[in-house]
């Protein structure tokens, strides 16, 4: 792999040359500690966790969570909120890019307390009208991937799963300092997470993890129970960099 300096940030991995999807999947991978490290995504498009709705400045209450239609053989959800400006640095033509989004929805992923997670649990069909979720997934290919890989393990119907994911995302308030950036800044991971807890009083620090790549912010992750209440993350680990660089929206 080539060496890159600050002004030439890599995708970190290029499983398929020219594939923004594969690149994004690696950069936003889960940082879970378990015996055989698996990549959570292998074919996400553009801003995988893409959401192009305006930055929310008020805390929303969590949406009512539908009753599961099937077994929920997992312990909790990991809500992955990707920092769009970092992805857009090398993928300016992606759907979310040019809209100056901040955190966007990558996925709502079923997790287990031991650090493992289920995937590809059934062949259940996705939503009949994917376009109704274009606010959180403008790319239909990503929506399909998230459903097949993660949603089928939720025990919910496709529509209930994406409504739940939307509710989880909409209950997150982007810290004002990050939403209003007009130049790159740097700060320790703990300070970034402190901004998140200040803007989201219902989410304690123990429910958060931060992902980074090449010392750049890539995502904030929130651990939620099946009713979308924040819980301690357990085996999910945060970025180990001393200082993380944050490019502006």
Q: Which domains does the chain have, with CATH numbers?
A: 20-246 (3.90.730.10)
Rounded Cα distance between 202 and 190, Å, is: 17
Please answer whether residues 71 and 155 qualify as being in contact, where contact means their C-beta atoms are separated by less than 8 angstroms: yes
Q: At what angle do helices 158-170 and 140-149 cross, to 10 degrees?
A: 110
Rounded to 10 degrees, what is the CA torsion of 109, 136, 146, 68? 60
Say yes or no to pLDDT of 8 above 70.
Answer: no
Would you state the pLDDT for residue 66? Answer: 72
Backbone phi and psi for residue 112, each to the nearest 5 degrees, phi listed first: -115, 150
Would you state the pLDDT for residue 87? Answer: 79
How many other CB atoms are found less than 10 A from the CB of residue 248?
A: 14
Please answer whether residues 192 and 244 qualify as being in contact, where contact means their C-beta atoms are separated by less than 8 angstroms: yes
* Averaged pLDDT score across all residues of the chain: 79
Closest CA to 152 of 127, 130, 120: 120
Between 32 and 150, the higher pLDDT residue = 150
| pLDDT range class, residue 25, cuts 50, 70, 90 | very low
Residue 88: burial class (beta carbons within 10 Å; 0-12, 13-18, 19+):
buried
Say yes or no to pLDDT of 39 above 60.
Answer: no
Rounded to 10 degrees, what is the CA torsion of 102, 104, 109, 114? -10
Backbone phi and psi for residue 37, each to the nearest 5 degrees, phi listed first: -65, 120
Please answer whether residues 45 and 141 qualify as being in contact, where contact means their C-beta atoms are separated by less than 8 angstroms: yes
Average the pLDDT over 218-235 and give the result: 96
Between 33 and 83, the higher pLDDT residue = 83
Say yes or no to pLDDT of 38 above 70.
Answer: no
Percent of the chain at pLDDT exceeding 90: 60
Would you state the pLDDT for residue 69? Answer: 67
pLDDT winner (highest mean) among 6-10, 65-69, 231-235: 231-235
Rounded Cα distance between 49 and 109, Å, is: 12
Rounded Cα distance between 34 and 116, Å, is: 6
Helices (H), 59-123: 84-88
Please answer whether residues 43 and 145 qualify as being in contact, where contact means their C-beta atoms are separated by less than 8 angstroms: yes
Instruction: Kindly give, in sequence order, each residue whose CB lies less than 8 Å from that of residue 172, ignoring residues fewer than 6 positions away.
Output: 56, 79, 81, 103, 200, 203, 222
Backbone phi and psi for residue 216, each to the nearest 5 degrees, phi listed first: -115, 140
Average the pLDDT over 183-203 and give the result: 97
Sign of the alpha-carbon dihedral angle for 104, 164, 222, 43: negative
Would you state the pLDDT for residue 37? Answer: 35
Q: Give catalytic residue positions.
A: 106, 146, 150
Between 170 and 69, the higher pLDDT residue = 170
Rounded Cα distance between 163 and 156, Å, is: 10
Average the pLDDT over 142-171 and give the result: 97
Low-confidence winner among 13-27, 137-151, 175-189, 200-214 (lowest mean pLDDT): 13-27
Would you state the pLDDT for residue 237? Answer: 82
Backbone phi and psi for residue 140, each to the nearest 5 degrees, phi listed first: -60, -30
Would you state the pLDDT for residue 64? Answer: 58
Closest CA to 226 of 89, 87, 81, 112: 112
Would you state the pLDDT for residue 17? Answer: 37
Say yes or no to pLDDT of 28 above 90.
Answer: no
């Amino acid at each position: 792999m080539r060496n890159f300096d600050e002004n030439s940030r890599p995708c970190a991995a290029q499983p398929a040359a020219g594939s923004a999807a594969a690149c994004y999947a690696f950069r936003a991978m889960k940082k879970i500690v378990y015996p055989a490290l698996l990549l959570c995504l292998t074919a996400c498009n553009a801003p995988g966790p893409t959401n192009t709705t305006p930055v929310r400045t008020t805390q929303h209450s969590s949406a009512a969570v539908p009753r599961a239609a099937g077994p929920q053989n997992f312990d909790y959800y990991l809500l992955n909120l990707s920092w769009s400006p970092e992805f857009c640095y090398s993928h300016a033509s992606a759907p979310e890019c040019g809209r100056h989004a901040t955190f966007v929805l990558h996925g709502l992923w079923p997790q287990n307390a031991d650090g493992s997670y289920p995937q590809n649990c059934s062949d259940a069909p996705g939503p009949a009208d994917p376009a109704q979720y274009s606010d959180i997934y403008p790319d239909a290919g990503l929506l399909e991937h998230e459903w097949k890989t993660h949603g089928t393990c939720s025990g919910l119907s496709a529509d209930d799963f994406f409504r739940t994911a939307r509710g989880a995302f909409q209950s997150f308030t982007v810290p004002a300092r990050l939403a209003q950036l007009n130049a790159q800044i740097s700060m320790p991971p703990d300070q970034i997470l402190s901004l998140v807890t200040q803007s989201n009083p219902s989410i304690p620090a123990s429910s958060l993890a931060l992902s980074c790549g090449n010392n750049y912010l890539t995502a904030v992750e929130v651990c939620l129970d099946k009713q979308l209440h924040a819980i301690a993350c357990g085996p999910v680990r945060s970025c180990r960099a001393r200082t993380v660089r944050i490019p502006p929206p």
